[in-house]
Structure 1
Amino acid sequence: MNEKFFALPEEKRHQIINAAIEVFSKYDYKHASTDLIAAKAGISKGSLFYYFHNKKELYLYLYDYIMDVMKEQLPDRDILNITDFFELLEYAARQKAKVMEQGSPYIMDFAMRAFYSEKEDVSNDLRNHNFVQQDVIYQAYFSHIDASKFKDGISPHEICKMLIWMADGYLHEIRMLNQEPDMDALMTEFTKWMDMFRKFVYKEEYLA
């Protein structure tokens, strides 16, 4: 990426970012038009490729940008005071849902398209990004949990991954049915799954 992009005024950078997120949220990677992105951003296509060398670079930047925005919302005082694994997981999920709802109306659609990207030029890169991000986020926000509540041989990290897979499966099903994702409905289901897992993996004395 050309450093000249970061030298732009903040308002102009956001204008380009929002335009690109909107177009990529409406079309798959192959059919997302850089001409349309440039037009919505109020710049020439040449300028767009001056700031980003190609469409793939722009797409991966947007993905990392959205991940960074979400991560910035989590490290507040409350999160450091929560030592129960499931309470912290629910808190983090609700904060993530809040960011998705309060941000650009296209963020959620872009994130879902990116996460379930298959057989496209960016698919392998996104898959690698996702694996790395999951481990980084877990280490950053779950390192202080009280792991003594778990039964012997149970890995909190593995439980976290399983719950994330379940949420991803739920969203994937919604996407396949061409339905709009309902974050309140997802959180209701996610809470049920957490309650079930808690009963299976916590020691008896922590279930009261």
Structure 2
Amino acid sequence: MNQSYFQLPLDKQKNLINAGYKVFAVSPYNKASMLSISMEAGISKSLLFYYFRNKEEYYLFLFHTAIEFINEHKVQLKGEKVYDFFDLINMKIQGRMKIIAEYPYLYKFITRAYYETNEGIKSKLDEKKRIIMSIEEEEFLKVVDYNKFKNPSHVAILLKLVLSVAEGVMRGREDLNTEKILQGVREFEVMMESLKKHYYKEGYLSLVEGR
């Protein structure tokens, strides 16, 4: 890519990134056009090709940048510390909210990239896909406090359920304003309180409510 891209003001760099995330999030790689991206970004197609030699280079740049954003907001877990399950989930959601506020289509782009079928681009993504998740499930399950649960064997299942609920709550809100996105987060928090009452032992619920 042309290094002059990095000499652009940060708002213009961000605009080019968001335009790509949006177009590639809506359409698969083969159908997304650089013309559509340039129109979304409000620049000419020739200028877009000035910064990025071709669609593949631009796409891989977007993917690499998305991973960097996710890692930047990744919750750093310490193996010797035990965490409350729902506190961990909250930290994960807060990190995601910070990214969505600046890059609304990033997670939808990542999801589509993960299942991309174009052989040319797919082979270049395969080695990078393992670092997509902001908190790996395996890492999460190693540090969570199992003592608070009525049935510790259900924790792994609960984690998958919670992550699915979180994805469902946020889906389709990319074009909404911040207040409506926060409304979705509040809905999620209500659901988490309900799950907490179902899965936690009574003694720990009393401690939580008394905070």
TM-score band, normalised by the shorter chain?
0.5 to 0.7
Shift of 1:148: 1.9
Contact 1:82 1:88 in 2 (8 A): no
What is residue 21 of structure 1 aligned with on the other side? Answer: 18
Choose 120-129 or 160-169, whichever is displaced more: 120-129
Q: Provide the alpha-carbon RMSD of the alignment.
A: 4.4
What is residue 209 of structure 2 aligned with on the other side? Answer: none
Q: In structure 1, what residue type is equivalent to 2:83?
A: T
Identity percentage of aligned residues: 18
Q: In structure 1, what residue type is equivalent to 2:16?
A: A
Rounded Cα–Cα distance in structure 1 between residues aligned with 2:13 and 2:69: 16
Partner of 1:58: helix, strand, or coil? Answer: helix
Q: Deviations over 1:39-69 (max 9, x none)?
A: 56984626623xxxx5355335423422431
Q: Return 5+ residue gaps in structure 1 as ranges.
A: none
> Does structure 1 residue 63 correspond to structure 2 residue 70?
no
Partner of 2:143: helix, strand, or coil? Answer: coil
Partner of 2:195: helix, strand, or coil? Answer: helix
Q: Deviations over 1:106-136 (max 9, x none)?
A: x213433553679964699589977863485
TM-score normalised by the chain length of structure 2: 0.64
> Does structure 1 residue 112 correspond to structure 2 residue 111?
no
Shift of 1:71: 2.7
Rounded Cα–Cα distance in structure 1 between residues aligned with 2:108 and 2:50: 29
Contact 2:86 2:192 in 1 (8 A): yes
Query: How many pairs were matched up?
Result: 192
Shift of 1:165: 0.9
Rounded Cα–Cα distance in structure 1 between residues aligned with 2:64 and 2:161: 23
Q: In structure 2, what residue type is equivalent to 1:189?
A: E
Shift of 1:93: 0.7
> Does structure 1 residue 33 correspond to structure 2 residue 30?
no
Q: How does 1:63-82 map to 2 (within 5 A)?
A: 63-75=63-75
Q: Return 5+ residue gaps in structure 2 as ranges.
A: 207-211
Q: In structure 2, what residue type is equivalent to 1:92?
A: K
Q: How does 1:1-208 map to 2 (within 5 A)?
A: 10-11=6-7, 18-26=15-23, 28-29=27-28, 30-35=30-35, 36-37=37-38, 39=43, 43=47, 45=49, 48-49=52-53, 55-56=55-56, 58-75=58-75, 83-101=83-101, 103=102, 107-115=103-111, 121=117, 133-134=132-133, 137-140=136-139, 143-172=142-171, 174=172, 180=176, 182-208=180-206
Q: In structure 2, what residue type is equivalent to 1:133?
A: I
